Amino acid sequence: VPPRVPGRAPALPGAAVPQVTVRDALNQALDEELERDERVFLLGEEVAQYDGAYKISRGLWKKYGDKRVIDTPISEMGFTGIAVGAAMAGLRPVCEFMTFNFSMQAIDQVINSAAKTCYMSSGTIAVPIVFRGPNGASAGVAAQHSQCFAAWYGHCPGLKVVSPWSSEDAKGLLKASIRDDNPVVMLENELLYGVPFEMSEQAQSKDFIVPIGKAKIERPGTQVTLVSHSRPVGHCLEAAAVLAKEGVECEVINLRTIRPMDIETVEASVVKTNHLVTVEGGWPQFGVGAEICARIMEGRSAFNYLDAPAVRVTGADVPMPYAKILEDNCLPQVKDIIFAVKKTLNI
């Protein structure tokens, strides 16, 4: 029996349900897009001969060679600049950061060069590039390797920002990002790489994509809306399962895209449930949840239906500690989500 996926019931013994890890889903997407379009290439630290630091690019260097899968020196500013220039020249690079914390070394290339060029050139220069890699907290890697950059990059016009949870999200969003003519930041989660999820037959097709800018309702409900992205989606589904036993039906929304944000799906859910809780691993100030709450407040359709103030569940407002017990207490847990739901429902 495959390991239990957070928020998903394990497959029944003998049931023919395809299980694919997030790592393998990303590998499939890269393989299919490298094969489909000769302009696509992958570059980053250890992506070629070592098969990737997290084995996302396993087997691709042997299949496509040095010109399509390129190992780079440890210089984010340098190889990101090369990738952005290649995109301006008509190629479609996939630029891997070993962790998005290291993208800070190249933020000038990502923002000033990639995000702003199409606008500043009056649309004459496209920059079709994907910046991808693990984002947010892993386990025991301390403050300089544990930030969530969803709010950072989601703040910047000119970028699209996606944040997958499941294997289906990961494959479909990566393929859509590579095919997009704009710079896309894809924020993965290291702790999800080895987690298997069910993959539909449609999702295993080479033509499968997940549209950028469209959220997904992972669990329908009627009493409270839970909105999240990346790994905390699983925590929301676990919390919803616990609350269901107490008679509370939660609707769980997987944002999948941070920018452009699918606020229409959130508003429609709030109109139905009359309550809103946002959940994220990032810091509270100027966070993704803060943006969702502001949008609901400013929009007439959903705000008038709220029966209680929206509640945010976030990471603690501190640099990430190294000690495991402190790390656990700095990240949203299932119990925190349950507490927030009961608070907003006044139960």
> How far apart are alpha carbons 172 and 92 in whole angstroms?
17
> How far apart are alpha carbons 62 and 125 in whole angstroms?
33
Using CB atoms within 10 Å of the CB of residue 119, give its burial: 0 to 12 exposed, 13 to 18 middle, 19+ buried. Answer: exposed
pLDDT the model gives residue 301: 84
Domain ranges of the chain: 19-204, 216-345
Mean pLDDT of the region 297-325: 94
Q: Do 19-204 and 216-345 have matching folds?
A: yes
Angle, vertex CA 100, rays to CA 324 and CA 186, nearest 5: 115
Catalytic residue status for 45 = no
pTM: 0.93
- Of 158, 184, 159, whose CA–CA distance to 173 is shortest? 184
Is residue 77 predicted with pLDDT exceeding 80?
A: yes
Catalytic residue status for 145 = yes
From 32, 96, 145, 218, active-site residue: 145
What sign has the CA pseudo-torsion 71, 72, 73, 74?
negative
What are the pLDDT digits (tens) for 169-200? 999 999 999 999 999 999 999 999 999 999 99
In Å, how far are 53, 75, 133, 138, 246 from 71, measured between CA atoms? 11, 11, 15, 24, 53
From 32, 33, 45, 76, active-site residue: 76
- Of 162, 130, 165, 170, whose CA–CA distance to 27 is shortest? 170
Identify the CATH number of the domain defined by range 216-345.
Answer: 3.40.50.920
Token pair recorded at residue 146: 């544990």
More confident residue, 15 or 27: 27
What are the pLDDT digits (tens) for 93-111? 999 999 999 999 999 999 9
**CATH class of segment(s) 19-204:** alpha beta
